[in-house]
Amino acid sequence: MPIRKTTTLTALATLLIAASAMAAVATGDTSKDKIALSNSYAGNTFRQQQLKSWAQVATEAKKAGLVADAPAFTTAENQATEQAQQIQNLVLQGYKAIVINAASPTALNGAIKSACSAGVIVVSFDGIVNEPCAYRIGADFHQMGAVQVDFLAKKLNGKGNILEVRGLAGVSVDDEIHQGIVDEIKKYPGMKIVGSVYGAWTQTVAQKEVAGVLPSLPQVDGVVTQGGDGYGAAQAFRAAGRPVPTIILGNRQEELAWWKSQGTDTYQTMSIAADPGSSTFAFWVAQQLLAGNKLPHDMSLPTLTVTSASVDKVLANTAPGTVASNVFTRDQVVKLVEGQKK
């Protein structure tokens, strides 16, 4: 399963350079193959950037004659039943590979197993699945939760009340980050989770949900998050006239801009999130599998961490309405995966 690793944007470049220079790109003919992206949700900037990055790489690959087509399909309501039907339809429509950001780690397994039986390559990423025939590209979301707790414990000297802002119920990403938080906070008896809300990885939803729970909470010293919710949480505290605690941010441009406006020396926090460029990583994994590359069923893509030392540089390269991200090339993906085999 995914290795426990986080990295900064600069460190990722180092990883790419350090990865095996001899990694072989498979060159089997995939020019007549169609790859589909089945996406369960697009209601926040992270997912929207995933789709934008996918379209960018897919368009370039199509122009280069590497694939026949690679459209993206998003379900309307983040429902596993709808996504399972979508996968079945994509198989019938002749797609040779289906890349999935899953609404559930288990509920799609029947549809995925049927796709594999029909000879279709299935690659899951971000929201991964546990059907054995599928390939998985996962960040260590459990560690992402643990890192946040450790940061707050150090800053708060191991004592404080914590508010947890979760993502979407039932999605593996939410479950894993939450479990990492729950497991790690056991190491600090002086720290306690005093409230938990679902923010849907979206600033507006997070602001509304945090505002709704604040009147019932005691003093809050820190907020653990999942990405796309930190700025919304800060706005809720401000609107309620309460001191803004240390909020872990999630690499969205508006969060990083807000952090800088507070003064990165004065307001000391960190920002961590998965890489929305994971969609492009998954695209090239699917293309390489079709081309005959023997890749492992479980691969890992590090989460991205922004610190007070790197926030200015990252913010300068992150446009409004987007998330700190990478767009991967085929060579980079093969090198990273080969490096994980060692």
Q: Would residue 319 count as lying in a domain?
A: no
Do 229 and 168 fall within a single domain?
Answer: yes
Q: Would residue 147 count as lying in a domain?
A: yes
pLDDT at 8: 57
Q: Would residue 1 count as lying in a domain?
A: no
Do 104 and 185 fall within a single domain?
Answer: no
Name residue 124's beta-bridge partners.
100, 136
Residue 4's pLDDT band, with cuts at 50, 70 and 90, is very low
Do 193 and 162 fall within a single domain?
Answer: yes
Of 273, 289, 312, the one marking the end of a domain is 273
Place of tokens 């809720």: 236
Using alpha carbons, select from 220, 225, 222, 202 the residue that is nearest to residue 78.
202
Do 176 and 29 fall within a single domain?
Answer: no
State the Cα–Cα distance between residues 313 and 308, nearest whole angstrom: 10
pLDDT at 7: 52
Helix 109-117 to helix 80-92 angle (10° resolution) is: 10
Residue 98's pLDDT band, with cuts at 50, 70 and 90, is very high
20, 25, 300, 339 from 342: Cα distances, Å: 9, 17, 13, 6
Place of tokens 């890349």: 99
What sign does the CA torsion over 251, 253, 256, 258 have? negative
Helix (H, G, I), strand (E, B) or coil at 187: coil
State the Cα–Cα distance between residues 133 and 149, nearest whole angstrom: 34
Parent domain of 289: 6-139+274-302+325-340
pLDDT of 73 higher than 90 = yes
Name the CA radius of gyration of the chain, rounded. Answer: 20
Do 146 and 246 fall within a single domain?
Answer: yes
Do 199 and 216 fall within a single domain?
Answer: yes
Do 216 and 115 fall within a single domain?
Answer: no
Residue 78's pLDDT band, with cuts at 50, 70 and 90, is confident
State the Cα–Cα distance between residues 43 and 127, nearest whole angstrom: 15
Task: Assess contact for 251 and 324: CB atoms under 8 A.
Answer: yes
Do 168 and 217 fall within a single domain?
Answer: yes
Place of tokens 């899951």: 124
Using alpha carbons, select from 146, 229, 221 the residue that is nearest to residue 191.
221
Average pLDDT, the chain: 92
**Using DSSP, how many helices (H) and how many strands (E) does the chain show?**
12, 13
Do 96 and 160 fall within a single domain?
Answer: no
Do 268 and 280 fall within a single domain?
Answer: no
Do 222 and 197 fall within a single domain?
Answer: yes
Residue 104: give its domain's CATH number: 3.40.50.2300
pLDDT of 5 higher than 80 = no
- Count of the separate structural domains present in the chain: 2
Per DSSP (E only), the strands in the chain are 6-7, 35-39, 72-74, 97-101, 121-125, 135-138, 160-166, 191-198, 222-224, 246-247, 271-273, 298-300, 303-306
Of 231, 257, 273, the one marking the end of a domain is 273
pLDDT at 9: 54
CB atoms within 10 A of CB 132: 11
Q: Would residue 310 count as lying in a domain?
A: no
Q: Would residue 318 count as lying in a domain?
A: no
Do 132 and 280 fall within a single domain?
Answer: yes
